[in-house]
Amino acid sequence: MQYKQRLDEIERRFDELTAQMADPAVINDSSQYRKVAKTRMDLEETVLKFREWKEANQHLQEARGMLNESDPDLKEMAQDEVLKLEPQLAQMEEDLKVLLLPKDPNDDKNVVLEIRAGTGGDEATLFAAEVFRMYTRFAETRHWKVEVTSSSESSVGGLKEVTALVNGNRVYSQLKYEGGVHRVQRVPQTEQQGRVHTSAITVAVLPEADEVEIKIDPKDIRIDTFCSSGPGGQSVNTTYSAVRMTHLPTGLVVSCQDEKSQIKNRAKAERVMRSRLYELELQKQQEKIGAERRTMVGSGDRSEKIRTYNFPQNRMTDHRIGLTLHQLDQVMDGKIEPIVEALTQYYQTEKLKEQNEAA
């Protein structure tokens, strides 16, 4: 196999880390233990698949050796085993190639999800609210937690914009390809003549940065407080609990009024601000090295249309990969797994092509 030497090295490293986790010196150092455990966990899937491949490969070699047996029954049994194992082994090797691809360091992160209504007036705000519900329903199936940090409603009950923190297991890995312009085609409720209108919204998915990655200097931040607006309890419009945070060097502004506590709103606003600053840093890196095409609205061309939702035809089309599903009703109910999986597979295949060309 092409990458066997590399896989042998990964397996040796995995065994070293396993031994370290039983070392009292590592166990007594919680920071070191977490680091070792995380590194080991990152390698585990690859090592288990490699060991599965080695076992299957050994069985295949044994079966091929039996093809020279004089006993016809044994020979037939060996042929059946070879026919069964060869495609299994080929699939394992493809799986291992994918596992050896460079890992996106952000895949394990939580995300800041931002949705904004674009062209289309009230209809765009209604669609923005529906798309936010779509992601919320998808998050529920993944047992993720969605916390709204700020939102602005339209007069028809839609959303002009909404920002939310999505926390859970490997959130960014599954939502990172959702960033872009989402277009909707349907007959608005206010349309008297039944004509189909086209509206658009923008979605950004930003990996949440922790304090170690992005440090915010207090002197670079201006904090303004104001009264919360919109539906709520007695504290709404009576206490200055809402927070507007401005990062003076970049001009970035984040508002949060979801919590009744000013302290909690400030903490949430800081998480969003840190993620936006992290995204700016990523953008600078990507522009500098020019290695990978940017697909995020938050870090690239906001005019790029990635997906169309056609309600009259119950059709969803992702223009990047040519995927069309005639089950838009299910998609809008949060069943976006087929889209997420197809996009992940497509970009993995593209990276494999680049890896093979570079080899």
DSSP conformation letters of 161-230: EEEEEEESTTHHHHHGGG-EEEEEEE--TT-SS---EEEEEEEEEEEPP-TTT-PPPGGGEEEEEE---S
pLDDT, position 18? 94
From residue 200, alpha-carbon distances to 68, 154, 309, 316 in Å are: 66, 15, 10, 14
pLDDT, position 81? 93
Task: Tell me the mean pLDDT in the region 152-171.
Answer: 92
Position 213 confidence tier, pLDDT thresholds 50, 70, 90: low
User: From CA 193, how far away is CA 213, in angstroms rounded?
Assistant: 54
Give the chain's mean pLDDT: 85
Q: Which has the closest alpha carbon to 356: 179, 129, 94?
A: 94
278, 209 contact by CB (below 8 A): yes
In the chain, list all ranges with CATH 1.20.58.
4-99
Who has greater pLDDT, 302 or 7? 7
114, 204 contact by CB (below 8 A): yes
pLDDT, position 298? 36
Radius of gyration of the chain measured on its C-alpha atoms:
26
β-sheet bridge partners, residue 124? none
Position 288 confidence tier, pLDDT thresholds 50, 70, 90: low
pLDDT, position 357? 67
Four-residue CA torsion sign, 306, 134, 130, 162: negative
CATH of domain 218-286: 3.30.160.20
In the chain, list all ranges with CATH 3.30.70.1660.
111-208+295-351
Residue 8 has pLDDT above 70, yes or no: yes
What does the block give as tokens for 333?
Answer: 């109910």
- b vs e for 58-69, b when ≥16 Cβ sit within 10 Å of the residue's Cβ? ebbeebeeeeee
User: From CA 175, how far away is CA 269, in angstroms rounded?
Assistant: 21
- Select, from the ranges 63-67, 83-87, 262-266, the one with the highest average predicted confidence (pLDDT): 83-87
Q: In angstroms, how far is CA 336 from the centroid of its own chain?
A: 13
In the chain, list all ranges with CATH 3.30.160.20.
218-286
CATH of domain 111-208+295-351: 3.30.70.1660
pLDDT, position 302? 38
pLDDT, position 24? 93
Residue 256 has pLDDT above 90, yes or no: no
Q: In angstroms, how far is CA 55 from the centroid of its own chain?
A: 33
Q: In terms of pTM, does the model score above 0.95?
A: no
From residue 176, alpha-carbon distances to 7, 252, 260, 277 in Å are: 28, 22, 31, 17
**CATH number 1.10.3470 given to 4-99:** no
pLDDT, position 14? 95
pLDDT, position 285? 65
Task: Quote the longest CA-to-CA distance of the chain.
Answer: 92
pLDDT, position 190? 67
Strands 145-153 and 159-167: antiparallel
Q: Supply the DSSP symbol for 216.
A: P
Task: Tell me the mean pLDDT in the region 50-73.
Answer: 91
Who has greater pLDDT, 19 or 42? 19
